[in-house]
Amino acid sequence: MHAPRRYRNTGDLPAVIPVFPLTGALLLPKTRLPLNIFEPRYLAMVDAALGSYRMIGMIQPKIPGEEEDASKRPALTAVGCAGRIVEYSETDDGRYLVTLLGIARFRVSGERDQQTAFREVAADYSDFSRDLKLEPETMAESALLRDKLVRALKPYLTEHSMQTDWKSIEEAPTETLVNALSMICPFDAREKQALLEAPSMNARADALIALLEMSNAALPTARGPKQPLH
């Protein structure tokens, strides 16, 4: 999955984008995120995006869950990911079903005065120009990293009752696998943000493995049998 070739460098990206604050939602470059849009403010956001660059920035609020109160304007995390609407449909009950393709991460450098029902920010992509590269990022010691990742993944998926197509895992490129697991594993908001902000694929893979191993270490089987009470 590659960024559309209209985005050859960060100068091709819009300087101001609408944002969708959503706790726990992670969009990464070259990945796809399906969204079910039903709130009026976000229906308006999609309408505006479709009439412009077709771009929406996925970002988390600093305090998880604050975005659920429409009367609040929660502080946002510093980094989000801009995605282009690549699939769009409407349901009979007025919802929008859209899919975003992650294009590039951005830093919030300011926010527009709220003249719309949704929020818009000034997006600075300068730290994330590598997100637009066509070729996958080179990952050091990829075979050893994959082996360590798979070993940490098996008990984690079992504990969380997550069904897995191991053939697909074995065949997936390492970058694709790391990004997909970062998005679908039920990590908390701060952990998702750390995965988003990882400066390289190796750093994201290391962070992902660390999260999996920490979760596995907390399992009852990892702590050993319970001691009898006296």
Question: What's the CATH code of the domain at 92?
Answer: 2.30.130.40
Residue 225 lies in a domain: no
In contact, 74 and 123? CB cutoff 8 Å: no
Same domain, 14 and 83: yes
Q: Are residues 125 and 152 in the same domain?
A: no
Examine the domain organization and report whether 47 and 119 are in the same domain.
yes
Domain boundary among 132, 162, 193: 132
What is the domain range of residue 203? Answer: 142-220
> Is the same domain home to 72 and 23?
yes
Residues 39 and 82 in one domain: yes
Tell me whether residue 212 is in a domain: yes
82 located within any domain: yes
User: Over 70: is that where the pLDDT of 118 sits?
Assistant: yes
SS (H, E, C) the chain: CCCCCCCCCHHHCCCEEEEEECCCCCCCCCCEEEEEECCHHHHHHHHHHHCCCCEEEEECECCCCHHHCCCCCCCECCEEEEEEEEEEEECCCCCEEEEEEEEEEEEEEEECCCCCCCEEEEEECHHHHHHHCCCCCCCCCHHHHHHHHHHHHHHHHHHCCCCCCHHHHHHCCHHHHHHHHHHHCCCCHHHHHHHHHCCCHHHHHHHHHHHHHHHHHCCHHHHCCCCCCC
pLDDT in tens, 59-111: 999 999 887 776 778 899 999 999 999 999 999 999 999 999 999 999 999 99
Packing angle, helices 142-159 and 201-217, rounded to 10: 40
230 falls within a domain:
no
Residue 5 domain flag: no
Q: Is the pLDDT of residue 225 over 80?
A: no
| Lowest pLDDT segment from 109-123, 161-175, 196-210 | 161-175
d(CA 6, CA 199): 24
pLDDT one-digit tens code per residue, 24-72:
999 999 999 999 999 999 999 999 999 999 999 999 999 998 877 767 7
Q: CB of 4 within 8 A of CB of 84?
A: yes
pLDDT in tens, 141-154: 778 888 899 899 98
pTM above 0.85, yes or no: yes
Same domain, 113 and 189: no
Q: Domain check: are 125 and 83 in the same one?
A: yes
**Are 80 and 112 part of one and the same domain?**
yes
Q: Are residues 189 and 123 in the same domain?
A: no
Q: Is residue 1 part of a domain?
A: no
Domain stops at, among 132, 161, 182 = 132
Residues 70 and 120 in one domain: yes
**56 and 96 together in one domain:** yes
Q: Is residue 2, in this structure, part of any structural domain at all?
A: no
- The pLDDT of residue 119 is above 70: yes
Q: How far apart are CA 28 and CA 43, in angstroms?
A: 22
Tokens for 52?
A: 């412009």
Question: Quick one: 43 and 82 in the same domain?
Answer: yes
Select from 132, 157, 179 the last residue of a domain.
132
- Cα–Cα dist 56/227, whole Å: 53
Would 22 be classed as within a structural domain?
A: yes
Q: Are strands 96-111 and 79-90 parallel, antiparallel or unpaired?
A: antiparallel
Token pair, residue 59, equals 């970002």
As for how many domains the chain has, the answer is: 2
